[in-house]
Amino acid sequence: MFPYEQGFPVKAPELERQIGLEVYATSTEGVGGRIRQLLGDFSVREVLLDGSKAPLEPPRGPVGGRGSFLLCSLVKEGMDTLEAVRRLVKALGIPDGLISFAGLKDARAKTAQFLTVRGARPEILSQLGIRGLYVIPLCFRTEPLGPGELAANEFDITIRTIELARGAVLGRLDAVLSELAEFGGLPNFFGHQRFGTARPITHLVGRELVRGNVKKAVELFLTYAGPGEGPRTIEARSYLADTWDLKGFLSLLPRGLYYEHAMAKHLLEKPGDFHGALRLLPLRLRRLFVHAYQAYLFNRFLSKRIAYGLPLAEARPGDWLIELDERGLPTSRAIKVISTSKTGKGLVLALPLPGFRQELSSGAQGEVEKTILEEEGVRPEDFKVRVMPELASPGWLRPALVKPDMLRAPEVFDDELNPGHRALRLCFRLPRGSYATVLLREIMKPEDVLKAGF
């Protein structure tokens, strides 16, 4: 029987609903405010499985170790990981395949993350002089860095422009955290930066690729104007959408949009070669489109499960359970439940990211997933992406809940940048693949996601 959708006292903003974030887990009124007024207000550091944290400053002593892969800390602000790697590749004059990293980091933050560069010399990397980033060589090793080596991310975040008194801020924060504890944890949604907040486009491009529409995917990438983009960019995209005049588009387009320039020039030289235009984008970025669409579907699956009142701390018949390792990270071992059972003892509820190998849930949750896929007009086998097979994705399972680890007591203080307002500083750790903004949205309950800095 298909479950009944419940009403919720706090409705998610429209921009969040577009990326599958349709509900909150808590009903406590938010503290409001804004994140990222300064880039330093949103700081992220990677933590590897061995406990090492990406440093912000060079360690003392020479670079040791053996092997051809140089492990480094990449410290950046004002650009995402893919853009930082693009600049590194250009400065070093090497193929991007020689650089490996464990995770993607947001542009609007100060972040420190690990990467390896094959065949690099420490003295060259440490003196590149690229604006907005610097590289700290750490040691040589025999293998490139892989995603499986990342354990967690540590966040140090300041929420500003809060209009509440100090006691009210702490009271609402405590109430939200108590509600989440009673809920079983934080819903493990994919956060805003997975899709782009200023221009939530990645999953839309991914959807068209999965459906086999390369032409539509390219048109979307070039013409879709996001709510957070500048007026010149919006004008250029709108002009192209109305006219498909690529020369005029290029004359209007700001210089910083590197990929749009390259794709438009290619289509001028080879009209109709949409496959070739899309393949100008790095493989990592093209794969991100498909993965973002899978993330959108996961968000919708999880939103509907919450909305229908199906538990997240308990498995029902047909649900997936996934085993966690000793660090609390998901493994590849999963079972499908045949009778209602509590989670725990290293087993947690998991929902699928659809793919050509990943079996959907059964039972009530399975009905939710099948209905959403029918609405989207896609099937699991479509993730073979036959129009561009290098983007094929088998799918996987993702825990439905995650438990934030608060690293220190929250601090409320007078906001020196905004007199008469308060600021809230939060320091916490999340397992790899989980998003700080998902916790922040529960705490803040923003009415306008863009103005709130998401």
| Given the residues 106, 156, 382, 415, the one annotated as active site | 106
Domain that holds residue 132: 57-150
Assess whether 213 and 239 both reside in one domain: yes
Q: Is residue 30 part of a domain?
A: no
CATH number for the domain that contains residue 128: 3.30.70.3160
Q: How far is CA 256 from CA 53, 93, 107, 325, in A?
A: 32, 20, 14, 43
Assess whether 308 and 274 both reside in one domain: no
Residue-level pLDDT at 9:
57
Assess whether 321 and 365 both reside in one domain: yes
Domain end, chosen from 150, 169, 192, is at 150
Triad 314, 176, 11: Cα angle to 5°? 85
Domain end, chosen from 372, 399, 426, is at 399
Residue-level pLDDT at 5:
52
Q: Is residue 104 part of a domain?
A: yes
Domain end, chosen from 376, 399, 422, is at 399
pTM for this predicted structure: 0.91
Q: Is residue 101 part of a domain?
A: yes
Assess whether 310 and 395 both reside in one domain: yes
Assess whether 314 and 352 both reside in one domain: yes
CATH number for the domain that contains residue 240: 1.10.1510.30
Assess whether 338 and 395 both reside in one domain: yes
Give the number of other CB atoms < 10 A from CB of residue 23: 20
Residue-level pLDDT at 2:
43
Residue-level pLDDT at 61:
86
Residue-level pLDDT at 417:
97
Contact 431, 103 (CB under 8 A): no
Assess whether 297 and 392 both reside in one domain: yes
Residue-level pLDDT at 6:
56
Residue-level pLDDT at 343:
73
Q: Of 134, 122, 131, which Cα lies nearest the Cα of 57? A: 134
| Buried/exposed code over 37-75 (b: 16+ C-beta within 10 A; e: otherwise) | bebebbbbbbbbeeeeebeeeeeeeebeeeeebbbbbbb
pLDDT in tens, 28-61: 999 999 999 998 999 999 999 999 999 999 888 8
Residue-level pLDDT at 7:
53
Question: Residue 69 and residue 82: Cα distance in Å, rounded?
Answer: 19
Assess whether 132 and 63 both reside in one domain: yes
Assess whether 318 and 241 both reside in one domain: no
Annotated catalytic residue 106? yes
Q: Is residue 326 part of a domain?
A: yes
Query: Domain total for the chain?
Result: 3
Residue-level pLDDT at 33:
98
CATH number for the domain that contains residue 393: 3.30.2350.20
Residue-level pLDDT at 182:
95
Phi, psi (rounded to 5 degrees) for 186: -95, 130
Q: Is residue 20 part of a domain?
A: no
Contact 191, 404 (CB under 8 A): no
Q: Is residue 5 part of a domain?
A: no
What DSSP element (H or E) covers 292? Answer: helix 283-307
Residue-level pLDDT at 339:
80
Q: Is residue 50 part of a domain?
A: no
Assess whether 393 and 290 both reside in one domain: yes
Q: pLDDT below 50 — which residues of the chain?
A: 1-4
Q: Is residue 329 part of a domain?
A: yes
Assess whether 209 and 267 both reside in one domain: yes
Assess whether 273 and 289 both reside in one domain: no
